[in-house]
């Protein structure tokens, strides 16, 4: 046999072997993950779309071994790393693991998928209303209950705990350990900043998720989050999930391997920056280009903007939210960067959640200071001129916040606040506005007031006794000032971390001034609880001038009067002035001191500078 003939035969054998290996590779496939990781029988959302992760997922057949679970459709993608499966889950399914059988002509993989019965607990999914007071916890800066989880081996964080933007170690166990403190303070709900995995260069804030079904290990675990909700409920405290549909973190696995070419609005190499024009979508003269920049632009180059027009992603995000609600038993949602989402998706998302959990409340963050614009995002809006409703029950009232912050800075009088609330006619439900003095993105109230405790007290009364659902930023109760930068205003709570010199969670560990504001706020919260008229009564307000602001609240046969002197001088108030607005009133009982004022006398009430007095009104029988 000649050398050339031998070479030819060897080449043919080599081609055959390579071809066989390629065919074998094409015939084999793998599955690494299925999301959602489990589901529940008895949900109204009974047609589930499973997202399957793996390799070579083309031309795959899928069925459940249990015939009560029907595979309705299999969606193969050009990217064979993913597969979507539409599944119908019958109500009579028992708690168990159910076998999914994936197969092609050559291979078969069996995957155990857990299904359980939907719970119908009376202490879950309660919603939140204007009877509640929400306490906003910035998770990393509140309390470190487990220092051993402060670092992870594969962390990409570029900051240390000594940096303003570094992690300090606050976690879920820390929050659980302070539920008694929160109950004693008098709050009824907690909103915790996002706890999902953020394996990013700057991770402490939580708003750039790299896994939408996993709590960051530095905060704890999924089981610990569920425990937090259960323990909070036992303390009579509701839990609000801080949720983000608009974007994820750049280190999410989707970024390097997107399921579809239009999974994101643009790419990390080619994207448009967000144009922060929240008016454009509602503007009857608005330009579609501006709306496109607003809803499709990226906040930063490390927060890819999700394209919610993609049907698979749309379903994924809705199911992800439903999963966290049912899994953890939470009571409400705060939706981050609400106007930046595709608004048809956002309306569908809210509708799906409220269809499943009608008592739940959802508040969308609308960072805009104009009441007319804010109102356009609330459901049943009277000013919205679009062909679909937002379905969003509650919105953040930045106009309320701006007015109080102008007062705290000394830029405007209390009249600006009065004028802001006088525009409540634009809202479909002013009582379902979420109101606040400050939050994790803007300077603290005490920082703006430059240490003026009198002004802070005035602001707290306006927050708690006008209308809406009040939010108290962690540390406000002890007068934390913070600073201008995010890392400064998100100051660690004294006593929540190893090495702290004092513990401000206790009266002994607080300074005299801190105890003053803590005790003052605690008393206000107790009044709000003891007298429901102060939270849910119908409001009427009057601005007679001279830095004086009068608020009445009426609920059934009970009336209260709140007198606010926002100025820096004492103000005299005569019974005759009050009877102009309360003609049936005979007596005022001070709810702080229990002293009474007879309105049929000429006795002048002197309202001290930057102070508030709250009265129960006794009318003519």
Q: What is the pLDDT of residue 528?
A: 98
The H-or-E segment that residue 262 falls in is none
Q: Quote the tokens at residue 227.
A: 């425990």
Superfamily of domain 27-117, CATH level 4: Immunoglobulins (2.60.40.10)
Sign of the CA dihedral with 288 first, then 290, 293, and 299 last = negative
Q: What is the pLDDT of residue 7?
A: 46
CA 494, CA 475: separation in Å to the nearest integer? 9
Q: What is the pLDDT of residue 160?
A: 74
3-state secondary structure labels for all residues of 538-585: EEEEEEEECCEEEEEEEECCEEEEEEEECCCCCEEECHHHHHHHCCCE
The residue ranges of DSSP E strands in 104-174, in sequence order, are: 108-117, 134-137
The residue ranges of DSSP E strands in 145-252, in sequence order, are: 189-192, 196-197, 211-215, 238-243
CATH 3.20.20.80 in the chain: give the residue spans. Answer: 134-530
Burial of 172 (0-12, 13-18, 19+ CB in 10 A): buried
Q: What is the pLDDT of residue 163?
A: 81
Q: What is the pLDDT of residues 296-336, one digit of tens each?
A: 999 899 999 999 999 999 999 999 999 999 999 999 999 99
Instruction: Single out the residue of 213, 40, 64, 49 nearest to residue 115, CA to CA.
Output: 40
Residues 182/190, Cβ–Cβ less than 8 Å: yes
Contacts 24+ apart (CB under 8 A), 107-112: 107/27, 107/28, 107/29, 109/29, 109/30, 109/31, 111/31, 111/34
Fold of 134-530: TIM Barrel (3.20.20)
Cα-flanking dihedrals φ and ψ of residue 419, to 5°? -65, -35
Q: What is the pLDDT of residue 3?
A: 45
Coil, helix or strand at residue 369: coil
Q: What is the pLDDT of residues 493-552, one digit of tens each?
A: 999 999 999 999 999 999 999 999 999 999 999 999 999 999 999 999 999 998 999 999
Fold of 538-619: Immunoglobulin-like (2.60.40)
The catalytic site residues sit at: 336, 365
CATH 2.60.40.10 in the chain: give the residue spans. Answer: 27-117
Q: What is the pLDDT of residue 131?
A: 98
- Overall pTM > 0.85: yes
Q: What is the pLDDT of residue 6?
A: 39
CATH 2.60.40.1180 in the chain: give the residue spans. Answer: 538-619
Q: What is the pLDDT of residue 359?
A: 97
Sign of the CA dihedral with 479 first, then 483, 488, and 489 last = positive
CA 349, CA 369: separation in Å to the nearest integer? 25
The ranges of the chain with pLDDT < 50 are: 1-25
CA 193, CA 336: separation in Å to the nearest integer? 10
């Amino acid at each position: 046999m000649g050398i050339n003939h031998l070479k030819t035969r060897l080449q043919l054998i080599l081609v055959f072997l390579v071809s066989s290996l390629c065919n074998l590779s094409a015939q084999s496939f793998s599955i690494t993950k299925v999301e959602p990781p489990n589901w529940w029988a008895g949900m109204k959302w009974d047609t589930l779309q499973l997202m399957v992760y793996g390799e070579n997922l083309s031309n795959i057949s899928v069925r459940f071994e249990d015939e009560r679970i029907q595979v309705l459709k299999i969606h193969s993608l050009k990217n064979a790393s993913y597969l979507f499966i539409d599944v119908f889950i019958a109500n009579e399914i028992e708690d168990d693991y159910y076998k999914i059988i994936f197969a092609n002509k050559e291979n078969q993989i069996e995957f155990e998928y857990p299904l359980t019965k939907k719970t119908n607990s009376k202490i879950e999914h309660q919603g939140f209303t204007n009877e509640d007071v929400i306490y906003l916890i910035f998770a990393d800066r509140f309390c470190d209950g487990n220092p051993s989880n402060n670092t992870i081996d594969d962390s990409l964080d570029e900051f240390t705990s000594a940096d303003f933007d570094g992690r300090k170690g606050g976690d879920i166990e820390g929050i659980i350990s302070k539920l008694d403190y929160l109950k004693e303070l008098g709050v009824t709900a907690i909103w915790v900043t996002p706890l999902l995995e953020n394996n990013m260069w700057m991770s402490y804030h939580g708003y750039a998720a790299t896994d939408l079904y996993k709590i960051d290990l530095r905060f704890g675990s999924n089981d610990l989050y569920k425990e937090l909700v259960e323990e909070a409920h036992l303390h009579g405290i509701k839990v609000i999930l801080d949720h983000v549909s608009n974007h994820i973190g750049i280190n999410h696995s989707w970024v390097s391997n997107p399921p579809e070419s239009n999974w994101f609005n643009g790419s990390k190499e080619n994207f448009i920056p967000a144009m922060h024009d929240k008016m454009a979508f509602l503007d009857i003269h608005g330009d579609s280009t501006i709306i496109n920049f607003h809803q499709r632009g990226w906040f930063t180059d490390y927060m890819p903007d999700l394209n919610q027009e993609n049907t698979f992603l749309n379903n994924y995000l809705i199911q992800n939210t439903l999963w966290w609600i049912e899994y953890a038993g939470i009571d409400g949602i705060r939706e981050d960067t609400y106007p930046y989402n595709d608004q048809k998706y956002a309306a569908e998302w809210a509708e799906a959640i409220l269809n499943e959990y009608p008592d739940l409340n959802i508040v969308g963050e609308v960072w805009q200071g104009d009441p007319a614009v804010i109102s356009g995002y609330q459901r049943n809006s009277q000013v919205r001129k679009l062909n679909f409703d937002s379905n969003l029950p509650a919105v953040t009232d930045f106009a309320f916040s701006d007015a109080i912050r102008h007062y705290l800075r000394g830029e405007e009088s209390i009249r600006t606040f009065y004028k802001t609330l006088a525009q409540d006619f634009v809202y479909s439900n002013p009582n379902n506005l979420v109101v606040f003095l400050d939050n994790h993105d803007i300077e603290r109230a005490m920082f703006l007031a430059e240490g003026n405790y009198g002004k802070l007290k005035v602001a707290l009364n306006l927050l708690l006794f006008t209308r809406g659902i009040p939010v108290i930023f962690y540390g406000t109760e002890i007068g934390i000032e913070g600073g201008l930068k995010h890392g400064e205003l998100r100051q660690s709570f004294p006593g929540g971390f190893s090495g702290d010199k004092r513990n401000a969670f206790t009266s002994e560990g607080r300074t005299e001034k801190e105890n003053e504001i803590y005790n003052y706020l605690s008393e206000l919260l107790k009044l709000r609880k003891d007298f429901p008229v102060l939270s849910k009564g119908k409001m009427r307000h009057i601005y007679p001038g001279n830095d004086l602001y009068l608020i009445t609240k009426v609920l059934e046969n009970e009336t209260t009067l709140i007198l606010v002197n926002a100025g820096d001088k004492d103000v005299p108030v005569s019974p005759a002035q009050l009877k102009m607005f309360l003609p049936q009133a005979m007596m005022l009982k001070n709810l702080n001191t229990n002293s009474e004022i007879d309105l049929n006398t000429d006795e002048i009430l002197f309202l001290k500078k930057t102070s508030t007095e709250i009265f129960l009104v006794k009318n003519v029988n």
